[in-house]
Structure 1
């Protein structure tokens, strides 16, 4: 009798099914690693009493009792945390003397290891018909799937000194310009009651350098990737810094200027509303799937649009276009990362980010409205250049005008001011832009010219 005569949907060994003639008590690892691998994955079945060529010859009741007892002993002594297992039996003969034992292993909530001795533990994952040791990258990815990328409590105590970039982000965007208190972070479950940082907050820590924080920014000549790359930047580090540098890249590579009005005056206008760009980048950082190893957020600026592509499937049951405009439900893939951005006043719990983008484009035609394109494994949030077809009436702002406009918001450092201009050389930037503004009495410096903390402000 073949196994598919007992279980019609089972044809061969694969990621969910494995056949074993017997479970050898002298070499338990050979079969126990499959239990571990199933527990670390989506679960699965081991069919005992079945040969490799799918012959279901079965075991006696006595042999099945011994097999179940053996599994229980190995699970208790060597598998941590213990795997959840249930059993089923089906007779292979008319007299019900022989049975195939179906060992069902459930997916575990945490990473399961096989332990030999006090210091030797191994993690196994399931392949197509086999169980293999997990690589360090597999374990990182598995940890993120099991715990969520951001919701595991670490052994690192939160201190403002180690999160200066995040504190600066909060001070810039919070209404009261304050740093969040420990109590506030605890209330949002960003840190534990004992003060330990959650793994999501660790991604905002000043020295964070994980590959999963990578943002690749590119400026293209033309409307597709067949053109020349005019500017590019790879950003890695704490998420707060990544957000800031990505916004600066977009700012310096998109048009800001003046539109002529019918009465002969002029009106400030941008290719992309500032609030739409900020919401799009916050959304990409908050909702990307950080468990997909080797991926990054891509920011591609073309002559007519910006595509912000982030890894991760669409979480809602309906397609983006099936929801009323501005009424997309809020689902958080990364609850702690989203909470960190919420505390910084960059993300609303009600999911109003898309509504903010739509509001900023309310004066644009339908074909230029923000949109989301859904592909297997990633999302493309597209913003259109509001000035692309109106270039004849557009006068681009000079670097000096950009600096003065930026300083209206708050005092800025030399680095922050240079980031919104076309200057690559700091010395040339100071010589051509900053020094003339100081001499004309339009701006002043607070602090010594050699101090890294000195800033410029409007006079």
Structure 2
């Protein structure tokens, strides 16, 4: 008898159905991985007493009892968390002596693992007709899809040499320049007691290739996205790596000016305080909703402001401006990612990151204060350019002083720091890159006043004042 005669909707083995002749008690992982795979997916049915080609020969009642007992033992001893399984019987003969046993596996609300011994756990996912071990990225996706968290234990052991980007981040921002010990990482629950990395910590691993770590950066000429893109970068990989790349992008596109001090001197002033930039980016990385597929963190630098936009709704009951400064509650959407940033001395505890941003703008006017813009499904942390009112029109002001184009470039580089070729070209109103290079840039390079950092053929190459 064919299985299709008992179950008319079952055509072949696929993502929802699988056939087993018998369940071998000597090698339970051969069939238990299918249970785990179904539980980690949308659920499914295993038909026992059916050949690989769909021929139903059935089991007698004694064999069925033995099979159900075996499943119960394996589920109890090897499958964690335990899976919900229902049973159905259908007779294949008129005498009702032999039956096909159908195991209906329900989808789990958590990531299910098959455990052999004390330290060997495997997460299986269902393929088309088979079950295979999940990759680290698939385990992360499973955890996010299930309940939006990042603290599932993976089967990847922590090895320092495979987390060098994260350790370098710790050296950069920890006050003593140290790296965390295994015990410290376990104390922060970034790593399990037996040395396995949590799924959120895998996103800091050197070889992480998930699309969900992407940060897209753009520098615009103008105050909106209808202008020219002067510089851009798309960074993905380890969260530690993309964080540092994004900080460097912002830094190289942030102007440097000065302000008068009380004693008549001058104090250097970044257009965007680097401590505010760091806190805003940390907040975006720590609290974005990584379960929304196809999204990214967007960083857009305009003439007058910097926007860091991350996917995910505002988690607090009241709007940002309704909380007094320093009293914003700390709610973490991604506990392990936040813990990793804690370890690196980047994550401010208790919601004080917002206070740090405000403190860095304390000398600025009210309209320049950082704001949090809340939209359905995403947040925009906005920082304003503290130098915009006095330096947004440098080229026009300089031209009024009768400066040549080469003198304008020198003055701009002194004011802003290194700048891309095409931004300088746009600010000096040159329509043709070749003419700009020939008349302005190349003579300054020959005179050893400036140098180019990057390819001579790239409009993104930075021009640096010697």
Provide the C-alpha distance between the structure 1 equivalents of 2:305 and 2:463, rounded to a whole number of angstroms: 31
Aligned to 1:240: 240
Aligned to 1:48: none
Aligned to 2:454: 424
Cα deviations by residue, 1:114-148 (Å, 9 ceiling, x for unpaired): xxxxxx97489xxxxxxxxxxx9999644313254
Counterpart contact for 1:256–1:396, Cα < 8 Å: no
Aligned to 1:377: 377
Cα deviations by residue, 1:234-288 (Å, 9 ceiling, x for unpaired): 0011011111110110011110133356876422111110100000111111111
After superposition, the Cα gap between the structure-2 partners of 1:302 and 1:201, relative to the gap in structure 1 and judged at 3 Å, is same
Counterpart contact for 2:326–2:354, Cα < 8 Å: yes
Provide the C-alpha distance between the structure 2 equivalents of 1:147 and 1:211, rounded to a whole number of angstroms: 19
Counterpart contact for 1:209–1:236, Cα < 8 Å: yes
Counterpart contact for 1:200–1:337, Cα < 8 Å: yes
Q: Which residue of 407, 410, 414 corresponds with 1:398?
A: 414
Secondary structure of 1:144's counterpart equals helix
Provide the C-alpha distance between the structure 2 equivalents of 1:393 and 1:376, rounded to a whole number of angstroms: 35
- Structure 1 residue ranges without an equivalent (≥5): 1-23, 44-72, 86-104, 114-119, 125-135, 403-420, 437-459
Counterpart contact for 1:153–1:199, Cα < 8 Å: yes
Cα displacement (A) at 1:336 = 0.6
Provide the C-alpha distance between the structure 1 equivalents of 2:392 and 2:304, rounded to a whole number of angstroms: 15
Cα displacement (A) at 1:108 = 3.9
Cα displacement (A) at 1:42 = 12
Q: How many residues align?
A: 330
After superposition, the Cα gap between the structure-2 partners of 1:262 and 1:336, relative to the gap in structure 1 and judged at 3 Å, is closer
Counterpart contact for 1:217–1:234, Cα < 8 Å: yes
Counterpart contact for 2:165–2:204, Cα < 8 Å: yes
Provide the C-alpha distance between the structure 2 equivalents of 1:42 and 1:355, rounded to a whole number of angstroms: 44
- Structure 2 residue ranges without an equivalent (≥5): 18-35, 44-67, 87-104, 114-123, 129-134, 395-410, 419-450
Provide the C-alpha distance between the structure 2 equivalents of 1:150 and 1:258, rounded to a whole number of angstroms: 43
Counterpart contact for 1:306–1:385, Cα < 8 Å: yes
Provide the C-alpha distance between the structure 1 equivalents of 2:194 and 2:346, rounded to a whole number of angstroms: 26
Please identify runs of 4+ aligned residues in structure 1 that moved more than 6 A: 38-43, 136-140, 392-395, 399-402, 431-434
Provide the C-alpha distance between the structure 2 equivalents of 1:256 and 1:355, rounded to a whole number of angstroms: 23
Cα deviations by residue, 1:126-180 (Å, 9 ceiling, x for unpaired): xxxxxxxxxx999964431325442111111111111111111101111111010
Secondary structure of 1:324's counterpart equals coil
Counterpart contact for 2:255–2:417, Cα < 8 Å: no
After superposition, the Cα gap between the structure-2 partners of 1:109 and 1:167, relative to the gap in structure 1 and judged at 3 Å, is same
Aligned to 2:65: none
Within a 5 Å distance, the mapping from 1:358-373 to structure 2 comes to 358-373=358-373
Matched, 1:82 2:63: no
Counterpart contact for 2:372–2:382, Cα < 8 Å: yes
Counterpart contact for 1:257–1:397, Cα < 8 Å: no
CA RMSD of aligned residues (A): 4.4
Counterpart contact for 2:221–2:302, Cα < 8 Å: yes
Aligned to 2:145: 145
Counterpart contact for 1:255–1:396, Cα < 8 Å: no
Please report the TM-score for the alignment, with normalisation by the length of structure 2: 0.60
Aligned to 1:26: 7
Counterpart contact for 1:330–1:350, Cα < 8 Å: yes
Counterpart contact for 1:370–1:382, Cα < 8 Å: yes
Cα deviations by residue, 1:282-325 (Å, 9 ceiling, x for unpaired): 11111111111111000000001111000111111112222123
